[in-house]
């Protein structure tokens, strides 16, 4: 169990760094991880929508498609929360990107 948790943490940490610098593929990969439970990550549609939304903002057409697909399985409140989290994440990482 610990090794799957460690691999999930490594996946998230490594992609998170790249995502913070605007990497659309890293953001998309995070969306996939949270939508499918890749690498032992818990499925979380709010988190997945957030990352697909961020990937779409970085130009990923796959991110746009996946965001629309999982939105069909979510409530309006969950989608609003995912969008709020995406905005908050962008505000947190903006100074790093500019540096």
- Does position 98 have pLDDT exceeding 60, yes or no? no
Enter the pTM of the model: 0.86
The count of domains in the chain is 1
Question: Is residue 99 over pLDDT 50?
Answer: no
Residues 67/52, Cβ–Cβ less than 8 Å: yes
CB 43 within 8 A of CB 73: no
**Enclosing domain of residue 65:** 2-98
Q: Which tokens sit at 60?
A: 């990923």
- Reported as type and span, the H/E element at residue 97 is helix 76-98
d(CA 76, CA 18): 29
Question: What pLDDT, on the 0 to 100 scale, is given for residue 39?
Answer: 73
pLDDT tens for each residue of 31-89? 999 999 987 789 999 999 999 999 999 999 999 999 999 999 999 999 999 999 999 99
């Amino acid at each position: 169990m610990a090794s799957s948790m460690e691999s999930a943490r490594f996946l998230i940490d490594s992609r998170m760094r790249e995502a913070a610098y605007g990497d659309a593929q890293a953001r998309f990969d995070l969306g996939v991880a949270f939508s499918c439970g890749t690498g032992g990550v818990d499925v979380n549609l709010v988190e997945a929508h957030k990352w697909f939304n961020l990937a779409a903002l970085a130009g990923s057409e796959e991110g746009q498609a996946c965001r629309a697909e999982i939105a069909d399985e979510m409530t309006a409140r969950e989608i609003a929360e995912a969008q709020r989290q995406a905005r908050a994440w962008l505000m947190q990482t903006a100074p790093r990107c500019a540096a």
